[in-house]
Amino acid sequence: MVNNSNHSWNLQSFLDSLIFELDKAQDALSVKGLNRKLTYMVKDMNLELQLFPEFDGDTVRFTTAKPGETGASKISFQLGSIRDTQIQEVTRAPLTQDDVSIEEMGLSEPQQKELKKLGIQSAEDLRRTVTERKVALGKITDNKVDYSNLADVINQSRRRQNPPKVSQAKVSQAQGKTVLTLEGENLVVAQSLTDFPAAVLNDQPVQVLSASENRLQLEVDPAALKGDSKQLQVALDPYAVFTMNLQP
């Protein structure tokens, strides 16, 4: 007989919650495997529990049955051992310091849960899923994930992993224009940013002629290069802004 205090629940939500907890256990093993080549556990040990499961729509919790209580569910475990190579084959790599976790993306908690159900734990996971594998997350999540700021999150993640480096600045003449060329690494890594890169020389805007990962070309006023103060400010994207003092 069903107790009136019980709540109905959806099988898919229950399975999502259970799989998510298993994924977290795999992540913990992945980190542990970096320090211990072999995790020892009791071999062929069977554990049987009498439990009362509780499900709130998101999380499954269990209460241990007391002596004499009836109606509990039985769950059996068989423990074994697993090697570090097996852990690496079935688990994702731990988050690095340069990555952005799902909790830091500015998404609502329901959106975070939807992405975690798909195994997306970081901005880099999101970037690979959306840009490289071309997965339509909106269709999979029934439009529960807001795409308005996902591009910003992906660009921020890419910039943190690839900070800009300027190795050389030189001035040349091309088709009657004075061109200041900056060469380096990771100068342009963001996508879908129509207002960037942008630059000012001595507080005056300059035109961006071309921009790529290794080169940035700016059209400058020759008079601006003759004074003692030649300060160049460049915003490659919202997450990478730098200032240079140009020397002759």
Residue 231 sits in a domain whose CATH number is 2.60.40.10
pLDDT at 1: 35
pLDDT at 8: 60
Written as tens digits, the pLDDT of the chain (248 aa) is 334 455 666 767 777 887 788 788 878 877 787 787 766 555 566 778 888 888 887 778 888 888 888 888 888 877 666 777 877 777 777 777 767 788 887 788 888 888 888 888 888 888 888 878 888 888 888 888 876 677 777 777 778 778 999 999 999 998 889 999 999 999 998 766 788 999 999 989 999 999 999 999 999 998 888 877 789 999 999 989 999 988 76
Distance CA 1, CA 219 (A): 80
Pick from 175, 167, 235, 176: which is nearest to 201 by CA? 235
61 with 117, same domain? no
pLDDT at 205: 94
Contacts of 63 (CB under 8 A, 6+ apart): 51, 52, 54
Domain membership flag for residue 97: no
108 with 70, same domain? no
pLDDT at 3: 47
157 with 204, same domain? no
Last residue of a domain, one of 90, 124, 148: 90
pLDDT at 230: 84
**Which residues are 70's β-sheet partners?**
none
Domain membership flag for residue 47: yes
108 with 152, same domain? yes
Structural domain boundaries enclosing 134: 102-161
CB atoms within 10 A of CB 150: 19
pLDDT at 7: 61
pLDDT at 66: 87
Domain membership flag for residue 38: yes
Contacts of 71 (CB under 8 A, 6+ apart): 52
pLDDT at 4: 46
CB atoms within 10 A of CB 199: 23
Percentages of the chain per state (helix, strand, coil), in multiples of 5: 30, 30, 40
120 with 147, same domain? yes
161 in Cβ contact with 196 (< 8 Å) = no
Query: How many domains does one find in the chain?
Result: 3
pLDDT at 180: 94
Domain membership flag for residue 206: yes
Distance CA 122, CA 120 (A): 6
Domain membership flag for residue 71: yes
Going 63 to 64 to 67 to 71, the CA torsion angle's sign is positive
Domain membership flag for residue 96: no
pLDDT at 45: 64
122 with 140, same domain? yes
